[in-house]
A and B are shown apart, each in its own frame.
Chain A
């Protein structure tokens, strides 16, 4: 849902220009043979191509070239005001459209307006957009803001352009911030290794400098080096080995993170089930559909806010959480009163009846909202990514991990200290005694089921951020949720936490070499063996009560 619109953007090439692009490609290929002789590639010519990669390379090259024309040309490209000749020409003219007419991109001189029919706008695809951001950063190498300077140094490192050596040296001389200095030194090392200058000792030092950086880009950079002296070449290959090793460790850490993140999703989906199935023993096959109702509540709340209080748009999710809890919770109470309560002690019948209920809920949502995915937006504070060493942590996943733990913690606290929680524990531990003490057990049953359903609704809010909001949302989670509750031990919330994390991490570790399907099958076999060894989960309830 969040990612979907992006798909189309890069392919915005109109069909009519396909022939033109093909023609251009032909001449570009012919030109490539000649380019070998030419010492300096022309960044302007690169930008004028229709191939996104070359265009992006040109943007970066222009930014680090130190040319005074860099800033206005890149800005024009970003704003869609940069135009190229529609048909291939050896001198590849580029024009910037201004309010009054056109200027030559290379010189900045005003030129006579070419006929618009001969011009085409230089297309900005996703890859180029990224390059523009980097390039605009590189232009900030001498800015007052250290963060901007650092970004700019990073851009220089990425381009590894031998031509930027002088620029980097100048910047290094002026730089005072140690963090920026480090990046500049790395950028210098990269440029140096790519250039023809520099002694063997300088090069060895440069390799050492880069080896410490240990990321995939550095590895690719090192691997692309050719024609180095033997000592340098061997240093490079050992540096590549070191980096591979480090990358492997980061890969491991990343898998664990993905596993935890999947585990958090499972935990969210399973926490409600841990109440209804784990504590009450009600097997609710419509649990997934209650999660789905929570996701649709999020969608409705966002629409309402957009319509009536657009100023609060950013905080839509915060309103959706209580709304989803209430809607799903009330639905749960309704289900318990009209259906579940007649089926206590008959688990197989409960299973069938709630399956029927799940079909009804799916069809109801499909009839009301339509069968297609609904677009639920993410607030800005949930998008983006954090860089932690070699790890990229997406912010929305981080929020979901945090949120899952918060929900679990709040539930535990409520069960331990809350008035309702005390009653729930009393009823589940000794129903008749609780009734004798004046607790109205039917009311507690309904509220307990409502609580579990409400938590499922909250899970729906979180899942709306990472999954498609469609009538089928719930089906994807129901089996996994049951497995989590069973593995964790029925009626034990700590077990649910551990079960979810184990399942998430195991899944992510098995998946790469076994494939998603086989991973699923392996998890199922694991489950059967697990139930055989520990029929009551990881943390069985103690004592004789559990024996019954």
Chain B
């Protein structure tokens, strides 16, 4: 289907693997050795959402050279938009049985739904919002930052500060997003109850399909002329300016698109884990996501997906088996990958032909022919 093996393998793993797991979960009896328990399905669903976030980060970091330390903010915003829909979907089944207001609003004594909650009772409204809201924030932020030619570590630190500020803001009760506790106790999504195995498997499959679609979109984008300009901008920004390109426009486009992908990742994440709260904005989360990309291989797309899954597998295992060791392990991973594995796992295997090229001298003949072509 695709000329390069890596793309075929990646798509096969995502879609084939998800289908296989879902089938083993739903179609085998619980006692069977081949049965995949429900918690594995929701875990895999979570990893797939993380992989979508990693893909979004790789798009800006791997191809445009923007080391974002705040992409968790877009992921969390997408998640909050979905959470708002799921809250409204609870309706009168909440503790306070208020058909309009979510429980936490009743609890802090609000009488009316704030304007920014209007419309979130419709799925068709909430779904585009999970991309539009992150896109708007990304556009505002990017427009300022890229036009100001803020780049490198300065930009990284500002992105970190952005998500930090959002975390502080969402912690406040009077923001109307549930403060500290965030949103949870969801009942169902488009009328389908969330607490059934089939729903989990369905959401996991949807996540796989979205991941595959995002992967193909990112792949097409990076291989287009646009993607080539991005790489040029990443490696020699000022040179592209003298060629007549505006790097800030290119960065803005890919930045906003990346934020939208992260947002949809967050939107898929929330119904699968059943909660969204301000800690999703914590700067540490965003930086951890960057290391997934680094582990898998920056600027390879497939590597971002691989890294997200591998690191989170390790995290799931370590935090339950040896919780004390987890921070040492992730910290060590940061150091090892940057020192010893700068091109990640994919880079390790994809040994590109690095023969240093024939040392052919262009010499005088080339000069002459160049001159001729100009004159003629």
Contact = CB atoms under 8 A, between A and B. Distances in A.
Interface of A: 283, 339, 342-343, 347-353, 355-360, 362-364, 366-367, 479, 482-483, 486, 516-517, 520-521, 524, 527-529, 531-532, 535
Contact of B332 (A360, A486, A520, A521): A360
Interface string B311-345: 00000000000001001101111110111001000
Contacts of A527: 158, 161
Tell me whether chain B's interface is mostly helix, strand or loop, or mixed: helix
A528 B144 contact: yes
| 8 nearest A-B pairs in the assembled complex, by CB-CB distance | A356-B334, A532-B148, A359-B331, A363-B327, A360-B331, A356-B331, A353-B338, A349-B338
Given A349-B338, A363-B327, 12 more contacts: A339-B335, A339-B339, A343-B339, A350-B338, A353-B338, A355-B334, A359-B334, A363-B328, A364-B328, A524-B162, A527-B161, A532-B149
Nearest to B170: A517
A520 B157 CA distance: 14
A349 B149 contact: no
B24 interface: no
A531 B150 contact: yes
B148 A360 contact: no
Interface residues of B, number: 39
A352 B335 CA distance: 7
Contact of B331 (A283, A363, A479): A363
A531 B148 contact: yes
Contacts of B327: 359-360, 362-363, 366
B328 A517 contact: no
A535 B164 CA distance: 23
Contacts of B332: 356, 360
Contacts of B165: 517, 520-521, 524
Contacts of A483: 161
Nearest to B175: A517
Contact of A528 (B145, B168, B172, B342): B145
A517 to B, nearest CB: 4
Interface in B283-306: 284, 287, 290-291, 294
A353 B335 contact: yes
B331 A348 contact: no
A348 B67 contact: yes
B148 A351 contact: no
Contacts of A516: 168
A520 B161 CA distance: 9
A517 B334 contact: no
Interface of B: 67, 144-145, 147-150, 152-154, 156-158, 160-162, 164-165, 168-169, 172, 284, 287, 290-291, 294, 324, 327-328, 330-335, 337-339, 342
Contacts of A366: 327
B287 A357 contact: no
B290 A352 contact: yes
Nearest to A524: B161
Nearest to B324: A367
B169 A521 contact: yes
A366 B158 CA distance: 28
A356 B153 contact: no
A79 to B, nearest CB: 45
B334 A347 contact: no
A352 B150 CA distance: 19
Contacts of B330: 356, 359
22 contacts: A348-B156, A353-B334, A353-B338, A355-B287, A356-B338, A359-B328, A359-B330, A359-B331, A359-B334, A360-B332, A360-B335, A363-B328, A367-B324, A482-B157, A517-B165, A517-B169, A524-B162, A527-B158, A528-B158, A529-B144, A531-B148, A532-B147
Contact of A352 (B160, B161, B162, B291): B291
Contact of B168 (A356, A360, A364, A520): A520
A351 B162 contact: no
A364 B284 CA distance: 17
Contacts of A521: 165, 169
A107 to B, nearest CB: 55
B172 A517 contact: yes
Contacts of A352: 67, 287, 290-291, 294, 334, 337-338
A353 B67 contact: no
Contacts of B160: 479
A535 B338 contact: no
B339 A353 contact: yes
B152 A347 contact: yes
A521 B144 CA distance: 14
A358 B332 CA distance: 10
